Homo-oligomer: A and B are copies of this chain.
Amino acid sequence: MGNLSVLKFADEMSRVMPQLLRGFSRRQADEISKGKITLPQFLILDLLDKGGALKMTALSLFMEVTTAAMTGLVERLVKCGYVKRAFDPGDRRIIKIELSKKGAELVRKISQQRRQMIIKIFGQISEEERANYLNILLRIRDILNKEKEA
């Protein structure tokens, strides 16, 4: 009984997921959808905003890409003036990437727009539903993280 219902749930999820993904990506934050910056680029800026200056290896670990890929990504961000490269005085192999003022402003702007979007969408369901939804999301995140270690 319970088992059957998980199966049905999996079926419906498979059907709904693509529609949702498409829907959300359609209304991504303006600066992203307007092509001023790409999603991976924004995720890096966001990381730097929260974590301060980070070295290339750390960035590529967080983003789960090779350092070679990160070189290109950062290169474009530097060219746009959103981040700066800085040598580590203690170890000259290391290059620290830090947000510029322009980059920090962009992060704030995009985050704000994203929040607005979430508010607009999820403001249409009840507070109880929101609470339920977030709770489940958090549990799923924990389950995913636990499996990662194993």
Contact = CB atoms under 8 A, between A and B. Distances in A.
Interface of A: 2, 5-7, 9-14, 16, 18-20, 22-24, 26-27, 43, 46, 64, 111, 114-115, 118-119, 121-125, 127, 129-134, 136-141, 143-145, 147-148
Copies in the complex: 2
A141 B16 contact: yes
A121 to B, nearest CB: 6
Sorted nearest first, the 8 A-B pairs with minimum C-beta distance are A23-B144, A10-B118, A10-B115, A133-B136, A9-B130, A6-B123, A10-B119, A132-B132
8 contacts: A2-B127, A5-B127, A6-B127, A7-B115, A10-B118, A11-B115, A13-B122, A129-B136
